[in-house]
A and B are shown apart, each in its own frame.
Chain A
Amino acid sequence: MLTAPKLDYALLAPILIILGAALLGVLVEAFVKQSLRARLQLAIALTGIIIAFEQLYRIRNQGTSIAAVTSVSIDGAGIFMQGAILIFAFLGILIIADHDHFAPQASALPGSAEEVSALESGKQQTEVFPLTLFAVSGMMLFPIATDFITLFVALEVLSLPLYLMAGLSRRRRLLSQEAALKYFLLGAYSSAFFLFGAALLYGYSGSLSLNGLTDAIHGSGGNDVFLLLGIVFLSVGLLFKVGAVPFHNWTPDVYQGAPTPITGFMAAATKAAAFGATLRIFYVGLDAAQISWKPAIAAVAVITMLVGAIAAISQRDVKRMLAYSSIAHAGFLLTAVVSLNKSALGATLFYLVAYGLATIGAFGIVTLVRDSAGEVTDINRWVGLGKKSPLVASVFSLFLLSFAGIPLTSGFVGKFAIFSAAYESGNIYLVVAGVLSSAIAVFFYLRLILMLFFADATNDSVSVVIPSILTRIAISITAIATIILGVAPSLLFNVAQNFAYFLR
């Protein structure tokens, strides 16, 4: 006889609220007339996020691992990660709301008469709001999921909308669609690895949950071909999502092709969700087998840091450069996975927030630099921007300095925290590699700043559009946060440390 599973709705409410808002958005698409949709969708999305955040705040101290029959674990790290994702989503949607970045009708063939008429009629593709919310719900589930089925479902729920959203760009639509298809194909490919890994681990432990896996490792010792292959395949799925080398190739192409507001949202929120899940899997599920995977993941971390920093140097496109920068940051964050201690967990939580905010802000700035044909991402055409638009160029420089880890920005504190946690755990070689690649990375960030401020503009056709009020709010919040978290990091750090625990 089947008994209905007991669900603790209060604890699951943040996710459910987001899902509800997303469904409401679908209904709006069906029943509300075109001219009202954009505003209504925006209102629904933002309200949903605020209510979800409010509910999350209310349950912040009621951690339990049995909210949904042990499928999820509502614990400190999970709640913190959910909060971070909601904040990223809020800021991301403020920038996404600028419809000028999205195709008026994504289903129209690029260059077709249908597209032209859609452009002329002033149509808007407002489905992007519910799609974002669906992705957010998956992202919120991913870091709290504790069994492989839930993990896989969350992974797909967060990925599928993103595949679509990557193809929505208004300009350079073929590039955008190519990026979407690439992301989908490679994403599906990596999901297959993830699923295969989960199957192997089930075969090894006879349990789908992370706790069951730990028990099995304790029972049988960590040297089993099913276990080892399972760990590798599972890791591949995760490493793909975080953009670690050599599973990173999609990152520059997708970051470049996707509409810039989507790129910013994706870079911040996906990374947070994927690292949340990765940390849980390695800290909770695979901790007992650390001897087998630690060296391999450490090697991936080192290679990722170096490749990200080195490859960024020869980039000629701002979005691709930021993509490689995000790869390098994934490497820094992986050192925290290897460190396996509480301070590394706290440092990661802080770092993800710091990096995510700066990333949303940086891509927000990219949306502003345009010529008559839309956004300009060619670095050579950004030359001399500092003279034309000192404020925009200064704020962008602030984000770059934060990425570079210059003191008094949030990036510095995050990096220092992660390195010091790695030091504490005895992985000094990771610290050395991290510092080296930071040193390399500093050069391309600074080179870009030099180009912005010291070089004379070569042509005058690039201009900075006056940002909409929503974009302005988003960029201001991220810029202010970047400074505050650099000057007074303890504000967030103490919170992150308090939330830095996993429930088994």
Chain B
Amino acid sequence: MTTSTNLVYLIALPLFSAAALLLLGRIADKWGHIFATLISATVFVIGAIEFFAMQGRTGESRAATQKIFEWISVGTLHVDASLLLDQLSICFVLLISGVGTLIHIYSIAYMSHDHDRRRFFAYLNLFIAAMLLLVLGDSYLNLYVGWEGVGLASYLLIGFWNQKPAYATAAKKAFVANRVGDVGLSLAIMIAFTQFGTVTFAGVKESASGASAGALTAIGAMLLLAAAGKSAQFPLQSWLGDAMAGPTPVSALIHAATMVTAGVYLITRSNFIFDASPMAQLMVVCVGAITLLFGALIGTAKDDIKKALAASTMSQIGYMILATGLGPIGYAFAIMHLLTHGFFKAGMFLGAGSVMHGMNDEVNMRRYGAIGKVMPITAATFGLGYLAILGVPPFAGFYSKDKIIETAFNAGGIKGILLGGATLLGAAITAFYMTRVIVLTFTGTKRWDENAHPHESPFLMWAPMAVLAVGSVASGFLLSSGSALVNWLQPVVNEHHEHHTEEFLPPMVVSVMALVVVAIGVAFAILKYRTVPVVAPQEVSVFTKAARKDLYQDSFNEAVFMRPGQKLTAGLVTTDYKVIDGLVRMVGWVIQTSSTALRAIQNGYVRSYALIMVLGVLALVTAVWLVTL
């Protein structure tokens, strides 16, 4: 362990900037956005310096810590507000500050017409500070503070345009779903504390092996609940789609690249818990597999470009979560996919924002079409992101997603086949809906509103998109060449050099299979969306009749693929509503009913109160008497 004195600035700078911009008020309107962007860039530079410094150190001394102050010291519990920068957290620091800075730059232009731009940038910096605290905290408690902080920033930003009631509702939905997850996290911390008497990562890691299986599973399950809340995983996924109400740069930064991946970080950071509890790992892979399919299927049904991308985010994080459930080797691939996804998904979101910017904030893809001609840079950067998410070699997703598919197959036995199959199926559906997005938006015929005059976005907007596009192309290769990331992360996630030698399928076969299913998905989408109706999907039956005359292929698509797909999607939505919400509502109902019953006892009559007291006395006497029998 090395001691560093610079780590605190990573958090203090953006926090200070956020406070300054909020407190100074209108005075800072002129330069607030520039200041916030410079701060974010500075944080990235500090992160980069720390990264190179870390590379200069070897072995144990790579991780750096900094104690800021003694936070809680009571009885057996000592918690310091300490930061830990190790191989895992540096990845996040660079991603958060790097992508964060690009999105700051993009927002300067994107939000230029908003009279509250300064407040927006203050919130962005607040988010950066909280997110960095989340990944730099050296204990679950410090992580929790950051966890709450990003939740706060997220809902401030989702509801940024809260003059529109629907947006305020979306912020509220995100708030509630996140709180459910937070309860999971606080329960996990409490259980961990009762089991280990400490809440630092190092302390828990040390004593995790000695704990009972039940306790580890309980902690794992609660951590998973927390991850599901933050990362929009089944069964707490519903908020992410609505969170798209926030300004698009927010969707790119918080709801695609960074915050929603906090669940993956949490599980990876807690690898010692999950590695010791196969039951918890099983839950993790189930949640991951369900969400990756769930999100992908939802993606096929969305006409709103941001919601389609949000469903895709959900699905891609499903891949990461699934990977974290696959044991030591999975963590590195999960983080690799997280990083590549951070590039290509943020890039695509910024692309979507660029399109919206040109189309008077229209989000319905049925009103797009042929935009590629008028917005070539946007189309090109979006296209590179598209190739990356599909996993076409040599783009980023090829290296990260194929590794997850491969690892899933290698899990062995029925489990391996099921998980591998799910990831392959997910890849196919991903190819379908992403192609649909491309076809509806950038190619085909114009279906624009008559007032729309799309034009390429200004330099400040396309430059970040271009940088992210470079990442979409190159990051996968860079991270995986010579197993760079796997080796880098090894000290954090895998101490015992457990390498699975038995392979279910050779990597080559997996890649070929993945490419084949992707090709099928792309082909389906292209055939299906040769003509696109402008009208909303509720008139799908009219469209069906019209389409049937043209192509039999389409009706085949519909019968075999789309209709069951839609049914399934609808079914999942119903399940979501009836079963999941139902369960939540039942718990609520039980508590509410007992609450009302308690209220009835509170009838206001002194005589009743006195009687209750007498009964209480009798109960106490009985209790004491029973004990001393």
Contacts and interface: CB of A to CB of B under 8 A. Distances in A.
Interface of A: 181-182, 185-186, 189-190, 193, 222-223, 228-229, 231-233, 235-236, 240, 245-247, 249-250, 252-253, 291-296, 299-300, 307, 310-315, 341, 343-344, 346-347, 350, 406-408, 413, 416-417, 419-421, 423-424, 428, 431-432, 435, 438-440, 442-443, 446, 450, 454, 456, 488-490, 493-494, 497
B613 A435 contact: no
Interface string B600-626: 011010101110110111011101110
A62 B179 CA distance: 48
Given A347-B75, A450-B175, A493-B74, A228 B628 contact: yes
A342 B223 CA distance: 32
Chain A interface, DSSP helix/strand/loop, else mixed: helix
A40 to B, nearest CB: 38
B16 interface: no
A494 to B, nearest CB: 8
Interface string B142-165: 001100100000000001000001
Given A228-B625, A247-B613, A310-B595, A431 B620 contact: no
Nearest to A454: B172
A311 B623 contact: no
Interface in B168-186: 168-169, 171-172, 175-176, 179, 183, 186
Contacts of B74: 343, 346-347, 350, 416-417, 420-421, 493, 497
A349 to B, nearest CB: 11
Contacts of B193: 419-420, 423
Interface string B117-154: 00000000000000000000000010011001000000
Given A246-B613, A253-B604, A420 B596 contact: no
Nearest to A294: B627
Contacts of B176: 446, 450
Interface residues of B, number: 56
Given A296-B620, A431-B190, A313 B592 contact: yes
Interface in B582-605: 591-592, 594-596, 598-599, 601-602, 604
A490 B73 CA distance: 7
Contacts of A233: 617
B451 interface: no
B144 A407 contact: yes
A318 to B, nearest CB: 16
A343 B617 CA distance: 30
B73 A493 contact: yes
B612 A249 contact: yes
B71 A456 contact: no
Nearest to B76: A424
Contacts of A440: 591
B27 interface: no
Contacts of A431: 190, 194
A406 B176 CA distance: 15
B187 interface: yes
B75 A296 contact: no
B145 A246 contact: no
B609 A295 contact: no
Given A314-B595, A420-B74, A423-B193, 15 more contacts: A190-B613, A223-B628, A232-B620, A245-B616, A246-B616, A246-B619, A292-B624, A315-B599, A343-B75, A408-B145, A423-B76, A431-B190, A454-B159, A454-B169, A494-B73
A488 to B, nearest CB: 7
Closest 10 CB pairs of A and B: A343-B75, A246-B616, A249-B609, A296-B623, A314-B595, A311-B598, A420-B77, A417-B74, A454-B172, A313-B595
Contact of B602 (A252, A295, A347, A456): A252
Contact of B612 (A228, A231, A246): A246
